[in-house]
């Protein structure tokens, strides 16, 4: 229901504005992001969603980056070890937090009550670390896990899945197939390397073709510096039949946190986005390091 | 300083290891980034100071799970790290190690404990301490532990503690790295739910290998008190060097973000200091000559151990 206006807009060639970063925005506001703050500071997370809606975002994405059962389980040798020394709620925690992440975005939409349609995208990334294609799990294992994750976000009111920061076509295929099986609209955002290809060496042409075959409504580029997004967009846009999009990170990754720089203030970031639009992109937003001010600046590109 | 510690052990005295650094810093609200060494140096130093005041004979540097892979891991590769990572990441670990030693030393000097308290440079598994399946082969582990051991040697720690080792081969590599850096080495092992190493390798084999490699002490750690009690009870049967024991309390509650390690332990109230002391008395009775606290323990736990051992 909240997705239809978006789909129509894309089909008509309109421009859709995404939100900006949520994880790094939590940090910029001087709060630790260790537990996503979904349980400990829900009003704080919801407040950031609300700021993005006020800044004009058509899509807000949930605060659920890397939030999965696997992320928690990876800290233990096996089930026996986790049950022996781990927190007692670990078997349920990931799904409860995922559900909360969707609900907070839905609540933010209700609170701000924008007069325009705003869609809630469940932001889901790769099962293993987003920059490490060497760690991608086997297809059937990944399928089981995505069925669970996408099922939870759908049940809690997500309008679409934004499968983001993806490093291989294989994992994207599985996720897109699961989304289709659940009738959940799906957008997929790949990380472009400097070369304009994926980290695996696969081409964006092959990636977009695989996604189109699986019913993905939009293919995007994200989590790379603006220059790499520009290079990637030249590869992606001419080969895409579906709408393409982009959201770059700005600043530098300083694990486990983010280093904010003043290299891309909103006006300069807007110029980069204008260039991607020129190249064919219709979905524009911000990845790590971007703020509600960056999203407000993108309104001029509609 | 190490000779003094060594002779106390040889005389059959019980020495007191400090308690947890990481989990206690997190409990106190330190935002876990770069082990707090860049942003919260005062808190790190103050916590060392509290362990000293509580009677610890040994301070461990706040370097658990700190190694270059911790940062490199989250990038595609070194080139990607240089491209999108914060400047200087690839040279960060030795810097943090030096800061960690300096903070422990400063706390020791301020407490007037120079010459009385030893500082252990702490190295731990190259991969996650709870994931023996990820431990690199011996040669790789040796190559990666070596530079860290050398930094600790150059910073003049009193000895090296290879802590929370989860496989025999990596413990051997860490031990060899410390010996090559001319540091006395102690090794502690994560005890798994089965009572052996977390890798399921027999504890007795691990001890034998460590003794063969020149370890000066072997400890059991990173498991709940009851497990440590059982493991400590077996150590005497197959250990010739001094051995020790320290348990974690509460439950490991990892972050929902996918970090390599974030030392958060919850439900630690289940083990108040007095109860922990009662358990530690059992370890001493079983022959352990080194006792202390692992994740979840606090200076209050060290204090009751210190009182029992006559440190205060």
Per residue in B27-48, pLDDT (tens digit) is: 999 999 999 999 999 999 999 9
Average pLDDT over residues B221-249: 98
List, in order, residues 6 or more apart from A153 with CB less than 8 Å away.
A62, A64, A98, A99, A102, A122, A124, A161, A184
The string of DSSP codes covering A166-194 is: E--HHHHHHHHHHHHHTT--EEEEEPPPT
Taking the Cβ of residue B156 and every Cβ of chain A, the question of whether any pair is shorter than 8 Å is answered with no
For residues A97 and A39, what is the distance between their CA atoms, to the nearest angstrom?
7
pLDDT at B258 over 90: no
Model-level pTM? 0.96
Chain A, chain B: beta-carbon pairs less than 8 Å apart? 122
The CB-based long-range contact list for B210-214 (8 Å cut-off, 24+ gap) reads B210/B171, B210/B172, B210/B175, B210/B241, B211/B239, B211/B240, B211/B241, B213/B172, B213/B175, B213/B176, B213/B179, B214/B175, B214/B179, B214/B185
C-alpha span between A228 and A191 (Å, rounded):
9
Tell me if residue B182 falls in helix, strand or coil. Answer: coil
B28 in contact with chain A, both atoms CB, cutoff 8 A: no
Residue of A nearest to B36 (CA): A256
| pLDDT band with cut points at 50, 70 and 90 for residue A35 | confident
Q: What is the pLDDT of residues B100-145, one digit of tens each?
A: 999 999 999 999 999 999 999 999 999 999 999 999 999 999 999 9
CB contact under 8 A, A255 and B254: no
Query: Contact A87/B252, CB-based, under 8 Å?
Result: yes
Distance CA B211, CA A217 (A): 63
Q: Is a pLDDT exceeding 70 seen at residue A1?
A: no
pLDDT tens track for A229-273: 999 999 999 999 999 999 999 999 999 999 999 999 999 999 999
User: How many Cα atoms are found within 13 Å in the side-chain-facing hemisphere of A105?
Assistant: 30
User: Which of B86, B251, B261 has its CB closest to that of A86?
Assistant: B251
* pLDDT tens for each residue of A122-156: 999 999 999 999 999 999 999 999 999 999 999 99
Which of A88, A97, A249 is nearest residue B256 as measured by Cβ atoms? A97
Of residues A30, A53, A56, the one with CA closest to residue A41? A30
A100-122 mean pLDDT? 94
ipTM reported for the complex surpasses 0.85: yes
By C-alpha distance, which of B112, B72, B116, B120 is closest to B92?
B72
Contact A205, A233 (CB under 8 A): no
Question: Given this model, what pLDDT does residue A31 score?
Answer: 87
Average pLDDT estimate for A46-55: 98
Q: How far is Cα A296 from Cα A265, in angstroms, rounded to an integer? A: 12
Instruction: Give Cα separations from B121 to A146, B44, B85, B124, B164 (angstroms).
Output: 43, 15, 28, 10, 13
A-chain residues near B266 (CB < 8 A):
87
pLDDT over 90 percentage in chain A: 95
Q: Which tens digits make up the pLDDT trace of B177-188?
A: 999 999 999 999
In sequence order, the β-bridge partners of residue B243 are B218
Tokens for A57, please give them.
């975002």
- Percent with pLDDT over 70 in chain A: 100
Q: Is the dihedral of CA A189, A190, A191, A197 positive or negative?
A: negative
A113: which 2 tokens?
Answer: 């009550």
Cβ separation of A34 and B32 shorter than 8 Å? yes
- CA-CA-CA-CA torsion for B77, B80, B85, B91, nearest 10 degrees? 50
Sign of CA dihedral A83, A89, A93, A95: positive
CB-CB contact of A186 with A217 (8 Å): yes
- Mean pLDDT, rounded, for B54-61: 98
Q: Taking CB atoms and an 8 Å cutoff, what residues of chain A touch B31? A: 32, 34
Report the C-alpha gap between A10 and A218 in whole angstroms.
Answer: 9
How close B25 gets to chain A, by Cα (Å)? 14
Q: Is A84 helix (H, G, I), strand (E, B) or coil?
A: helix
The owner of tokens 């130093």 is B45
Residues of chain A with Cβ-Cβ distance to B80 below 8 Å are 131, 193, 199
């Amino acid at each position: 229901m909240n997705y239809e206006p978006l789909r129509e807009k894309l089909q008509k060639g309109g421009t859709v504005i995404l939100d900006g970063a949520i994880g790094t925005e939590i940090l910029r506001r001087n709060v630790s992001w260790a537990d996503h703050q979904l349980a400990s500071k829900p009003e704080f997370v919801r407040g950031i969603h609300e700021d993005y809606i006020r800044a004009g975002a058509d899509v807000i994405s949930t605060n659920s980056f890397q939030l999965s059962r696997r992320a928690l389980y990876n800290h233990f040798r096996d089930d026996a070890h986790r049950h022996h020394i781990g927190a007692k709620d670990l078997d349920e925690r990931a799904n409860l937090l995922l559900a909360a992440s969707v609900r907070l975005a839905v609540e933010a939409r209700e609170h701000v009550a924008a007069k325009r349609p705003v869609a809630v995208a469940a932001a889901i990334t790769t099962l293993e670390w987003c920059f490490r294609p060497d760690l991608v799990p086997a297809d059937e294992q990944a399928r089981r896990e995505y069925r669970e994750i996408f099922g939870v976000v759908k049940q809690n009111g997500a309008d679409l899945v934004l499968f983001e920061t993806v490093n291989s076509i294989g994992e994207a295929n599985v996720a897109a197939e699961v989304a289709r099986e659940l009738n959940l609209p799906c957008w997929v955002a790949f990380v472009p390397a400097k070369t304009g290809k994926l980290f695996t060496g696969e081409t964006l042409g092959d990636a977009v073709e695989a996604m189109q075959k699986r019913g993905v409504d939009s293919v995007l580029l994200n989590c790379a510096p603006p220059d790499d997004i520009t290079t990637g967009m030249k590869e992606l846009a001419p080969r895409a039949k579906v709408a393409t999009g982009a959201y770059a990170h700005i600043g530098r990754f300083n694990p486990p946190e983010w280093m904010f720089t003043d290299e891309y203030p909103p006006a300069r970031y807007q110029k980069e986005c204008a260039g991607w639009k020129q190249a064919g992109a219709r979905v524009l937003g911000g990845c790590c390091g971007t703020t509600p001010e960056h999203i407000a600046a993108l309104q001029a590109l509609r | 300083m190490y000779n003094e510690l060594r002779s106390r052990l040889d005389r059959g005295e019980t020495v007191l290891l400090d308690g947890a650094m990481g989990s206690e810093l997190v409990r106190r609200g330190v935002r876990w980034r770069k082990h707090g060494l860049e942003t919260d140096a005062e808190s790190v130093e103050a916590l060392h100071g509290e362990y000293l005041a509580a009677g610890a004979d040994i301070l461990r540097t706040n370097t658990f799970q700190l190694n270059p892979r911790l940062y490199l891991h989250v990038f595609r590769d070194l080139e990607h790290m240089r491209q999108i990572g914060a400047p200087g990441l690839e040279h960060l670990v030795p810097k943090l190690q030096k800061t960690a030693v300096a903070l422990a030393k400063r706390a020791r000097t301020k407490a007037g404990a120079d010459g009385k308290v030893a500082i252990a440079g702490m190295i731990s598994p190259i991969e996650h301490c709870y994931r023996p399946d990820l431990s690199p082969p011996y040669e790789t582990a040796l190559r990666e532990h070596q530079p860290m051991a050398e930094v600790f040697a150059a910073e003049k720690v009193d000895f090296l503690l290879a802590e929370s080792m989860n496989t025999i081969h990596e413990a051997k590599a860490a031990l060899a790295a410390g010996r090559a850096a001319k540091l006395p080495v102690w090794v502690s092992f994560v005890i798994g739910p089965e009572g052996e190493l977390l890798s399921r390798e027999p504890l007795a084999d691990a001890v034998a290998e460590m003794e063969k490699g020149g370890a000066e002490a072997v400890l059991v750690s990173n498991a709940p008190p009851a497990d440590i009690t059982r493991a400590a009870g077996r150590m005497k049967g197959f250990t010739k060097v001094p051995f020790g024991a320290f348990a974690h309390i509460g439950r490991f509650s990892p972050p929902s973000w996918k970090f390599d390690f974030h030392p958060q332990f919850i439900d630690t109230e289940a083990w108040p200091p007095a109860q922990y002391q009662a358990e530690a008395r059992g370890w001493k009775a079983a022959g352990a000559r080194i006792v202390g606290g692992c994740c979840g323990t606090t200076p209050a736990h060290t204090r009751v151990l210190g009182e029992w051992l006559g440190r205060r």
